[in-house]
Amino acid sequence: MRNSTDHTAAAQGTSASASVKTVVVPAAGMGTRFLPATKTVPKELLPVVDTPGIELIAEEAAACGAQRLAVVVAPNKEEIMRHFGEFEELQKIMNRRGKKEQADKVARAGELIEAVAVTQDEPLGLGHAVGCAEQALGSDEDAVAVMLPDDLVLPAGVMDKMVQVRERLGGSVLCAFNVSRDEVSNYGVFDVVDADASFDGFDVLQVRGMVEKPAVEDAPSTLVATGRYLLDRGIFDALRRIEPGKGGELQLTDAIELMISEGHPVHVVVHEGKRHDLGNPGGYIPANVDFGLHDEKYGPALYPALKKIIADFEAEHPELINEN
């Protein structure tokens, strides 16, 4: 059994890739689906077992060889950056009390990767948030990775595959996840054709377009977008040229669609594995159960506790037993 961090990138032997220097982490959204918690606590700091989602992303970014995390934050969400700061006094107290493991946990976020803040003054959408991060890129960077802290993609390492695809096919590379047909209406769905190249051990398809939350019968595939993007630097120019959509928000997918319409190659790596959506309580709770069960400290007691909760629930609702 692994501990909670071992469930993530650093422990899974992902190889370093030189091609990603900056990972943009948009974290300036309002987190309304987590109210009332998000009145005072940014959703990116809510823990999966004991580790905030933003730190799990920092681990994934560091494991793929990135040097810098450009965290897009809202003016009232500075607490997120504090998480990457120094806590010398707290570390000292933990060490003095012989709590070495806790002291290491205090230090880890700051040691993983250099985190820099980029401010998004108003929550004008994911596309706008990514656009704000252009200033954080070095002049030598011709591509940028974007990782959404809401999305846990397991096992980690998909960005390494995406880098391989960009190295061979150029353009931009996204990550797709296969869902059952009746789930497609919750997601952005890819319209894909076969790619001109094949890759060892994973599927790659070329993207013709995307349809946001289609009706089941209109969905062009069952491959849906997840929160990992490797985008050509041209994305920033495309973001300046698109119009705001619903709610005045700039959509990242609209900018990607614009690039596709202008002949920019976009491919998807089809991720084989698990995904947890930490952006709403319905996805956050199973993520905690999954990480908790794999945690060497909490897993052994959690397993029988969960079985009991389920048994009690089924006794209350016998009608559900045959349904599932």
If binding is defined by CB under 6 A, does position 253 make contact with ligand UTP? no
Q: Rounded distance, CA 92 to CA 98, Å?
A: 10
Three-class SS of residue 7?
helix
Q: Please name the residue that has the structure tokens 């491919």.
A: 267
Sites for ligand UTP among residues 94-153 (CB under 6 A): 120, 123-126, 128-129, 148-150
Contact indicator for 263, 253 with CB cutoff of 8 Å: no
Q: Which residues face 114 on adjacent strands?
A: 68
Q: Could you say which residues in the range 260-289 bind ligand UTP, by CB under 6 A?
A: 279
Which 8-state DSSP code applies to residue 186?
A: G
The first and second tokens of residue 124, run together, are 């004008």
Q: How far is the CB of 180 from ligand UTP (least distance, A)?
A: 22
Distance CA(96)–CA(86), nearest Å, equals 17
Instruction: Mark 59-98 with x for binding to ligand UTP (rule: CB under 6 A) and - for no binding.
Output: -------------x--------------------------
Cβ distance to ligand UTP smaller for residue 26 or 65? 26
Q: Which amino acid is at 23?
A: V
Piece of the chain touching ligand UTP by CB under 6 A; list 26-34, 186-194, 231-239, 256-264: 26-34
Q: Mutual orientation of helices 100-112 and 88-96 as an angle, nearest 10°?
A: 150
Pick between residue 23 and residue 94 the one whose CB is nearest to ligand UTP: 23
**Nearest distance, CB of residue 297 and ligand UTP, angstroms:** 28
Least separation in angstroms between CB 22 and ligand UTP: 16
d(CA 128, CA 122): 9
Residue placing its CB nearer to ligand UTP in the complex, 70 or 192: 70
User: Measured at CB, which residue is nearest to ligand UTP?
Assistant: 29
CB of 149 to ligand UTP, least distance (A): 5
Of 125 and 171, nearer to ligand UTP (C-beta) is: 125
Q: Is the torsion defined by CA of 149, 151, 155, 157 positive or negative? A: negative
Query: How far apart (Å, rounded) are the C-alpha atoms in residues 256 and 268?
Result: 12
Is residue 316 within a helix (H) or strand (E), and if so which, with residue range?
A: helix 299-316
171 DSSP assignment: S
Q: Please give the size of the binding site for ligand UTP, defined by CB under 6 A.
A: 20
Q: Which of 17, 20, 26, 271 binds ligand UTP (CB under 6 A)?
A: 26
| One of 23, 24, 27, 189 touching ligand UTP (CB under 6 A) | 27
Residues that bind ligand UTP (CB under 6 A): 26-33, 72, 120, 123-126, 128-129, 148-150, 279
